[in-house]
Structure 1
Amino acid sequence: MSGRSPQTFEFPAWPQFDETERTGLQRALEQGQWWRIGGSEVDTFEREFAEYHGAPHALAVTNGTHALELALQVLGVGPGTEVIVPAFTFISSSQAAQRLGAVAVPVDVDLDTYCLDPVAVESALTPRTRAIMPVHMAGHFADMDALQKLSADSGVPLIQDAAHAHGARWRGQKVGELGSIAAFSFQNGKLMTAGEGGAVLFPDAEQYEAAFLRHSCGRPRTDRRYFHGTSGSNFRLNEFSASVLRAQLGRLAGQIDTREQRWPLLESLLAEVPGVVPQSRDERNDRNPHYMAMFRVPELGEERRNALVDALVERGLPAFVGFRAIYRSDGFWETCAPDLSVDELARRCPNSEALTRDSIWLHHRTLLGTEQQMHDIASVIAETVAAA
């Protein structure tokens, strides 16, 4: 297997598209209204996306970061409040709260699933906590049983960062059936995409209507005299993006089926590689869309991990380093950071520290490949890790 060229791996391309997207774009073009007020594509996509995820209401927005920001604002997050977020996540999770003037409080994650640790969350609750944001890392649900109980006992609402979790299920329940707000991303690498875009699922009409106002500059649908009912911004999705997302949603289930077949094979193969520990799975997460194929190489260290990823890329794998703990980026400290030092947060978040140093992920299009390609992936990883 040594000496493979980058051309050896011919994984399915991403994004994927066919005549369905072309037809949708033509349909949006010819309807004569290219924004959601007056058009039909965004409205239709919202209904279809909400139904697919078991939610009463969905609101399409400009991107996943705006989806989080809008959802937090609906929950009353702002100056003087705190939002608990995983320390190990993409930084949008914390920045959405910080841009509203709230303090983002990083807490540690579980070292097996890479998702928010409920025990750490409970320790971080204060009278100022206004929301708890579990991130369903790589498509794997956070422990929603424990987090829902904690939310009920404390009165602090959950907001699911479901940017990786399109089509996921927890104990048979879809994301929108869990009774809390959930935010999604349709950025170019996500499980369904229009290049950019986002959506928020709401469990009740009151929250949805409040969000609609704020995502459209505070202006009611029928307003003709510029009576803006609340503050807000322009987070409206356009009709062209919605038409593409309708097509993307139509093939999502089949893609998840394929990834659910491939990951158990790849996971078992990676688990046999000395020094490699794949992301594990809580069996209550009975449908995982696998946004990323994630694994660790413990004790390798960040510098050697980075070199390992470079070597995997040279061998033709779409490999990436894992997220950096959010408090280890300068952007986290620019505004509304907790009154703790980096070292103090690191001591509180040992698992996030480990993942910062040693986690690696492969693009989900690898899991759309063949069974043989899973064996080839594992062989290349084994050879490259041994060389490292």
Structure 2
Amino acid sequence: MSSNRVDEVLTFPAWPQHGPEERAGLLRALDQEGWWRNGGSEVDSFEEEFAALHGAPRALATTNGTHALELALSVLGVGPGDEVLVPSFTFISCSLAVQRTGAVPVPVDVRPDTYCLDVDAAARVITPRTKVVMPVHLAGQFADMDALAELSSATGVTVLQDAAHAHAARWRGRRVGELGSIAAFSFQNGKLMTAGEGGALLLPDEESYQEAYLRHGCGRPPKDRLYEHRTQGSNYRMTEFSAAVLRAQLSRLEEQVAVREERSRHLMAALARIPGVVPQGRDERGDVKSHYMAMVRLPGTTAERRLALVDRLISHGVPAFVAFPPVYRTSGFWEGPHTGDVDDLAKRCPVAEEIGNDCLWLHHRVLLADTPVLDRLAEVFASAVAAG
């Protein structure tokens, strides 16, 4: 990077993005008779539109993505005594949601290229207690859904997709809702579409939708006037205001995904030319990747050097973050139902151990920038790496 750019601060598109569509939606929700889903129409409309875009028979909006996972696990009958396979390298909501049901999360190693669940590793830890396997489509890169379908067919273990990063992504031309399993989404502030918080499930059939609907409203059926609580559940209902914002966000999602697809290939090629930098790989069967994060590794680095690199990038205006630690290296993991110990899990998850130490990510808003800005970002990144 030339000397006159040493102190340069880059500017990227803001996130969240909003326009007159969000403002109109909020006013539309405000002017309704009711501000919750049982008195308005925004949540119902959002669910229909979200399901249609993702090719699912039904969708159900929730308070947030973690609750979406908890609700999905409940619908699938997961409870105390059961085991759920989760990637060892992911945000901790995956294991926390399992533990909130009383079940045991079983961390599974991930692939060194895509950072997604290693299906062969999953197969090795299945027991008679294993009820669900939860692949995460990390950074919008699909886990191997073909291999997971084969594993499910052979073992009877149900697949639950964590699609919190995979809005509008496609696997071999199929959308998330066309893959035949429940999928959970998040609309947290940093996600690819957002209302600050929020979540949703895609349901593959009417039976699972009806069960999820009951459980997301404290067990009450639609239009209940008699407090008829038919099953266990909680209040996972989305507000009309969140749904109104998300309808507007949904309207520009596919266009933004297309831009990120193009810009990501440009940026990752530039970062790959920097010595010591290895971008996240891509399984080309995932023919549309939504790019929640731009993730790279610095193999052989230390956690301290990685943090210093992130700090240098932030000083130049780059929204950079250290990647997740393996879920079992957090204190919260050990406060819920669990099995094994840190040393045992670390030996079983060597790839997650490495990635958790040397990976960092850039927020997806960088991928909405023009290519000259991305070229400057690559220069800043190379300089920050060279600084040690």
Distance 2:247 2:132 in 1: 31
Distance 1:57 1:127 in 2: 31
Match in the other structure for 2:387: 387
Residue correspondence of structure 1 range 56-71 to structure 2 within 5 A: 56-71=57-72
Distance 1:227 1:312 in 2: 55
Corresponding residue SS for 1:131: strand
Match in the other structure for 1:172: 173
The two structures, once aligned, show a CA RMSD in angstroms of 1.0
Corresponding residue SS for 1:44: helix
Corresponding residue SS for 1:77: coil
Corresponding residue SS for 1:38: coil
Corresponding residue SS for 1:289: coil
Match in the other structure for 2:111: 110
Match in the other structure for 1:335: 336
Distance 1:6 1:73 in 2: 52
Match in the other structure for 1:361: 361
**Aligned amino acid, residue 333 of structure 1:** W
**Aligned amino acid, residue 158 of structure 2:** P
What is the deviation of 1:5? 7.3
Distance 1:212 1:80 in 2: 25
Match in the other structure for 1:40: 41
Corresponding residue SS for 1:110: coil
Deviations 1:84-126 (A, max 9, x none): 0000000000100001000000010001000000000000111
> TM-score w.r.t. structure 1 length?
0.98
Distance 1:64 1:144 in 2: 21
Question: For residues 287 and 6 of structure 1, do their structure 2 counterparts lie closer, same or farther at Cα, with a shift above 3 Å needed?
Answer: farther
Corresponding residue SS for 2:158: coil
Match in the other structure for 1:181: 182
* Residue range with higher mean Cα deviation, 355-364 or 303-312: 303-312
What is the deviation of 1:374? 1.3
Distance 1:3 1:71 in 2: 53
Distance 1:115 1:142 in 2: 5
Corresponding residue SS for 2:333: helix
Distance 1:195 1:5 in 2: 35
**Aligned amino acid, residue 224 of structure 1:** R
Question: For residues 130 and 80 of structure 1, do their structure 2 counterparts lie closer, same or farther at Cα, with a shift above 3 Å needed?
Answer: same
Match in the other structure for 1:20: 21
What is the deviation of 1:8? 2.9
**Aligned amino acid, residue 371 of structure 1:** T
Corresponding residue SS for 1:225: coil
Contact 1:6 1:316 (8 Å CA) reproduced: no
Deviations 1:207-232 (A, max 9, x none): 11001001000011121111110111
Structure 1 gaps of 5+ residues are: none
Match in the other structure for 1:79: 80
Match in the other structure for 1:160: 161
Alignment length, in residue pairs? 387
**Aligned amino acid, residue 62 of structure 1:** T
What is the deviation of 1:308? 1.1
Distance 1:145 1:4 in 2: 47
Match in the other structure for 1:218: 219
Match in the other structure for 1:229: 230
**Aligned amino acid, residue 257 of structure 1:** A
Deviations 1:255-281 (A, max 9, x none): 001101101111111111000000011
Contact 2:90 2:138 (8 Å CA) reproduced: yes
Contact 1:139 1:165 (8 Å CA) reproduced: yes
Corresponding residue SS for 2:285: coil
Residue correspondence of structure 1 range 246-285 to structure 2 within 5 A: 246-285=247-286
**Aligned amino acid, residue 375 of structure 1:** D
Match in the other structure for 2:376: 376
Match in the other structure for 2:296: 295
* Residue range with higher mean Cα deviation, 24-33 or 101-110: 24-33
What is the deviation of 1:4? 4.3
Distance 1:6 1:160 in 2: 43
Corresponding residue SS for 2:235: coil
Match in the other structure for 1:308: 309
What is the deviation of 1:53? 0.2
Deviations 1:18-59 (A, max 9, x none): 000000001101112100002100000000000000000100
Match in the other structure for 2:349: 349
Distance 2:87 2:276 in 1: 26
Contact 2:75 2:208 (8 Å CA) reproduced: yes
* Residue range with higher mean Cα deviation, 325-334 or 24-33: 24-33
Contact 2:9 2:315 (8 Å CA) reproduced: no
What is the deviation of 1:304? 1.0
**Aligned amino acid, residue 57 of structure 2:** P
Match in the other structure for 1:137: 138
Distance 1:172 1:335 in 2: 38
Contact 1:134 1:142 (8 Å CA) reproduced: yes
Question: For residues 43 and 5 of structure 1, do their structure 2 counterparts lie closer, same or farther at Cα, with a shift above 3 Å needed?
Answer: farther
What is the deviation of 1:17? 0.3
What is the deviation of 1:283? 0.6
Distance 1:6 1:278 in 2: 25
Contact 2:70 2:98 (8 Å CA) reproduced: yes
**Aligned amino acid, residue 346 of structure 1:** A
Question: For residues 216 and 6 of structure 1, do their structure 2 counterparts lie closer, same or farther at Cα, with a shift above 3 Å needed?
Answer: farther
Corresponding residue SS for 2:33: coil
> TM-score w.r.t. structure 2 length?
0.98
Corresponding residue SS for 2:262: helix
Distance 2:24 2:75 in 1: 35
**Aligned amino acid, residue 203 of structure 2:** F
**Aligned amino acid, residue 356 of structure 2:** T
